[in-house]
């Protein structure tokens, strides 16, 4: 092909880990460049939240412009619509989460988007399809993402945006914990602390949907009676504050509910001990969080005379097993419940969601870090 004459600017692409940053270098003279013509599909330029080192998210993250990326034959380019700021996202940026991307990296792990364009060999996806990364994939805090078609899963277009963006981490955790440790039948019971969290609310609703009694423990707070009422409206059978359980026989507080065979702990400390007090002989407590940052203390008698079992659950670990192949079917069932109004997040300060314009990311990360007290879960809305 004939050579072309270009002047003024040479543009180089400098790699930044998984990112690519544009650097323009002015050249003093006209350059003669020879190149071969080819056809390439590119994504639009993207705006992304990146961090080049681990540390406090409000200090190490910044929003930058990324250049277009080539859409290869098996790639799908997705225009992101919404993505949450989860506690695990914050921990990854801090560098304390067990599994995290190499820095520099784009933040975010789950979210929902719309197909913008597809590679020549892609089948099953069309522009306009609503998709989520499934299993979740690093780097959802950006306006456009290009990844292999196997990363993406098409979901029902009628799925509520805020639920589609958050369906994988919390609701799926609740579902797996209900199914993976103890065989529960209609009429059985479970007990949990952290009942006002999103996982806690999902456990209440999924258990209620299956006819499983649920006993819930919440921290003492102003307006606890209102919180109890809201949880019961979701399907809670019993709701107790921690101070209500400062009695010798907590099971005497139950009316017509069998001893729980399964308990869930996301708090630790005394709240975990209260879950153990409710469990029947041979019961199992599953820990999936430690919000109080206090250790779990178990009496010797609980092991000897009640034969209790302590287990742990980490969704990321479950995603690496063969069982995860059924993840997408489970997500469909959860989204069906959300569309039917059978799975929802009630309006408690720590678990309702706030859709935040991407331009307000700095304010959103401050809220997610708790700088302004208890705040709704922050969900970045790339459309606003």
Active site amino acids:
97
Contact between residue 240 and residue 218 where contact means Cβ atoms under 8 Å apart = yes
Pairing, β 284-287 against β 309-312: parallel
Contact between residue 85 and residue 380 where contact means Cβ atoms under 8 Å apart = yes
Contact between residue 177 and residue 313 where contact means Cβ atoms under 8 Å apart = yes
Contacting residues for 28 by C-beta, under 8 A, at least 6 apart: none
Closest-CA residue to 50 (of 111, 140, 113):
140
In order of 12, 13, 23, 269, the CA distances from 31 in angstroms are: 14, 18, 18, 69
Q: How far apart are CA 282 and CA 296, in angstroms?
A: 18
Q: How far apart are CA 78 and CA 31, in angstroms?
A: 36
Q: What are the residues facing 262 on neighbouring strands?
A: 190, 284
Q: How far apart are CA 293 and CA 64, in angstroms?
A: 34
Closest-CA residue to 69 (of 20, 124, 139, 6):
20
Contact between residue 296 and residue 268 where contact means Cβ atoms under 8 Å apart = yes
Contact between residue 220 and residue 242 where contact means Cβ atoms under 8 Å apart = yes
Q: Could you give phi then psi for residue 311, rounded to 5 degrees?
A: -130, 170
Q: How far apart are CA 37 and CA 39, in angstroms?
A: 7
CA atoms within a 13 Å half-sphere pointing along the CA-CB vector of 342:
11
């Amino acid at each position: 092909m004939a050579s072309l004459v270009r002047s003024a600017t040479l543009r180089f692409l400098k790699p930044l880990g998984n990112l690519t940053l544009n650097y323009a270098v002015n050249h003093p003279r006209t350059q003669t460049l020879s190149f071969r013509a080819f056809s390439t599909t590119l994504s639009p330029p993207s705006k992304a939240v990146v961090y080049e080192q681990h540390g406090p998210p409000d200090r190490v993250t910044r929003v930058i412009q990324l250049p277009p990326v080539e859409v290869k034959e098996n790639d799908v380019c997705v225009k992101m619509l919404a993505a949450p700021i989860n506690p695990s996202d914050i921990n990854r940026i801090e560098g304390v989460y067990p599994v995290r991307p190499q820095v520099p990296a784009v933040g975010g792990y789950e979210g929902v988007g719309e197909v913008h364009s597809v590679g020549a060999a892609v089948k099953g996806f069309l522009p306009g399809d609503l998709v989520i990364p499934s299993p979740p994939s690093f780097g959802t805090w950006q306006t456009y993402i290009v990844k292999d078609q196997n990363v993406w899963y098409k979901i029902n277009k009628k799925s509520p945006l805020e639920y589609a963006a958050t369906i994988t981490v919390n609701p799926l955790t609740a579902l797996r914990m209900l199914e993976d440790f103890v065989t529960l039948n209609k009429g059985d019971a479970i007990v949990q602390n952290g009942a006002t969290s999103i996982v806690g609310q999902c456990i209440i609703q999924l258990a209620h949907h299956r006819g499983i009694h649920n006993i819930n423990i919440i921290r003492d707070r102003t307006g606890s009676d209102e919180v109890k009422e809201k949880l019961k409206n979701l399907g809670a059978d019993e709701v107790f504050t921690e101070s209500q359980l400062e009695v010798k026989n907590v099971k005497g507080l139950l009316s017509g509910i069998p001893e729980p065979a399964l308990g869930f702990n996301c708090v630790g400390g005394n709240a975990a001990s209260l879950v153990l007090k409710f469990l029947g002989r041979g019961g199992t407590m599953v820990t999936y969080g430690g919000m109080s940052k206090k250790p779990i203390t178990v009496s010797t008698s609980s092991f000897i005379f009640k034969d209790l079992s302590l287990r742990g659950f980490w969704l990321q670990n479950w995603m690496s097993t063969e069982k995860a192949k059924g993840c997408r079917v489970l997500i469909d069932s959860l989204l069906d419940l959300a569309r039917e109004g059978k799975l929802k997040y009630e309006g408690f300060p720590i678990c309702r969601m706030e859709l935040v314009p991407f331009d307000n990311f700095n304010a959103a990360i401050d809220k997610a870090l708790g700088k302004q007290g208890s705040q709704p879960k922050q969900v970045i809305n790339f459309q606003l």
